[in-house]
Structure 1
Amino acid sequence: MSKSDQPQAAPEVVDRARFDAALAEQVAAEKEVTRHNDRVAAARRRMPMVEVPDYAFTGPDGEVRLSELFGDKYLLLVQNVMFGPDWEEGCPSCTWAVDNLPADMRRLTEEGIAFAMVSQAPSAKLEAWRAERGWDHRWVSSGDTTYHHDWGWTRTDDAGEEYWMPGYSYYLRKDGKPYLTYMTTRRGTEAILPVAHIMDRSVYGRQQDWEDSPAGWPQYPTYG
């Protein structure tokens, strides 16, 4: 069975009055989530920032400084895409996240926010995967820098093996210098993944095995 096959399990069928009552209760809970998110966002806007070295990344045309990724903007969103130096393809979940970006990225730049992607793999591999996926986003390699290790995007486990983290870094350029104002990883990345939120509101959710769902609801391995 796959997600394209309709499950037999389904919600209880009720009359309109019971449905409206259940919906009102759910909306009230979701409004509190929205209010709490507003409070969290307000705290985020009050965070301090830290200066970041102006790393010399590598793009298809040569050196690209972190400060240059801003272009003519003063805000920058960097997606840290998991792509190890010896990999031939990008991480499936990170690839899915890039596919979730706005179809028209001008909606982002119109808000004064530049966008770029950074990975540890050589630029030639990034360009090949970008062409494979049909992306036109700016993508640079940090392989010749300490960027990934400095900021925790590449880590070492107890066995001494390296592993990578997905996530987003938010920068402000002030007086020509780049500053990190916020970063998020793991499930914090979900905030800007619209497909995940659409799935959450469908009757079967994401159909992933970690979800708390009724008996009989379809569930599959998260990274299967």
Structure 2
Amino acid sequence: MSKLDQPTATPPVVDRARFEEALADQVAAEKEVTRHNDRVSASRRRLPMVEVEDYAFAAPEGPVRLSELFGDGYLLLVQNVMFGPDWDEGCPSCTWAVDNLPANMARVADEGIAFAMVSHAPVAELEEWRARRGWQHRWVSSHDTTYHWDWGWTQLADDGSQVLHPGYSYYLLSGGKPYLTYTTRARGTEAVLATAHIMDRTVYGRQQDWEDSPRGWPQEPTYG
């Protein structure tokens, strides 16, 4: 079933007063989530930091140091996009995540935050995929460095195959040296995915099989 096909299951119909009562309970619960998120954010701002090697990534114009990705600023967000050295295409979920970036990334730059993407594949493969997707973001390759291995973005599975992980790394440039101040992966990446949050607030949610939804709600495998 396509998400463009309207499901037959719907919420129960109630009068305006009952709806407002139920909505008020929901808003109260969401306000507590917001307050808790503020507390979590406060603790995040109190994390220590660790110095990171000033890796020399490959870019179309030549080698680019991690410290150079900051541009003229001191804050940097790096999206670790899953694209293995022997892959022909980028990861579908990572591609979806990049497509979810703000339409006007200048707004991020206005806040003093530089942005770049890094992948394990050779830079030529990245440039080909970028052209196909129409992306303008800066994208560098860690292929000839140990960056992906050092920070766990690429790991070895029990069978010896390489397993890549998506996520975001937040850096601070201090005294000319790059420091990692925060990193997140798995569902922690959802914080910057606007489409996911929009879907969450529709009556059917994301329509994925891990969600706790009423009987009859449309659901499909997350990565189907």
Return the TM-score normalized by structure 2: 0.99
The reply to whether residue 64 of structure 1 matches residue 64 of structure 2 is yes
Q: Which residue of 2 aligns with 1:162?
A: 162
Q: Which residue of 2 aligns with 1:205?
A: 205
CA distance in 2 between partners of 1:17 and 1:205 (Å): 24
Give the drift of 1:197.
0.2
Give the drift of 1:217.
0.2
Provide the secondary structure at the position in 1 that maps to 2:171. Answer: strand
Q: Which residue of 2 aligns with 1:185?
A: 185
Q: Which residue of 1 aligns with 2:8?
A: 8
Alignment map for 1:22-171 (pairs within 5 Å): 22-171=22-171
Provide the secondary structure at the position in 2 that maps to 1:82. Answer: coil
For residue 64 of structure 2, what is the amino acid of its counterpart? V
CA distance in 1 between partners of 2:40 and 2:7 (Å): 37
For residue 152 of structure 1, what is the amino acid of its counterpart? G
Pairs aligned (count) = 224
For residue 179 of structure 2, what is the amino acid of its counterpart? Y
CA distance in 2 between partners of 1:99 and 1:159 (Å): 32
Provide the secondary structure at the position in 1 that maps to 2:160. Answer: coil
Provide the secondary structure at the position in 1 that maps to 2:94. Answer: helix
Q: Structure 1 stretch 155-164 or stretch 135-144: which is displaced more?
A: 155-164
Give the drift of 1:145.
0.3
The reply to whether residue 222 of structure 1 matches residue 222 of structure 2 is yes
CA distance in 2 between partners of 1:68 and 1:188 (Å): 26
For residue 5 of structure 1, what is the amino acid of its counterpart? D
For residue 178 of structure 1, what is the amino acid of its counterpart? P
For residue 97 of structure 1, what is the amino acid of its counterpart? A
For residue 174 of structure 1, what is the amino acid of its counterpart? S
Aligned residues: percent identity?
77
Give the drift of 1:26.
0.2
Cα deviations across residues 24-71 of structure 1 (Å, max 9, x unaligned)? 000000000000000000000000000000000000111000000000
For residue 48 of structure 1, what is the amino acid of its counterpart? P
Give the drift of 1:160.
2.0
For residue 189 of structure 1, what is the amino acid of its counterpart? T
Provide the secondary structure at the position in 2 that maps to 1:102. Answer: coil
Give the drift of 1:154.
0.3
CA distance in 2 between partners of 1:95 and 1:73 (Å): 27
Cα deviations across residues 117-140 of structure 1 (Å, max 9, x unaligned)? 000000011001001001000000
CA distance in 2 between partners of 1:116 and 1:138 (Å): 5
Give the drift of 1:156.
1.3
CA distance in 2 between partners of 1:101 and 1:72 (Å): 22
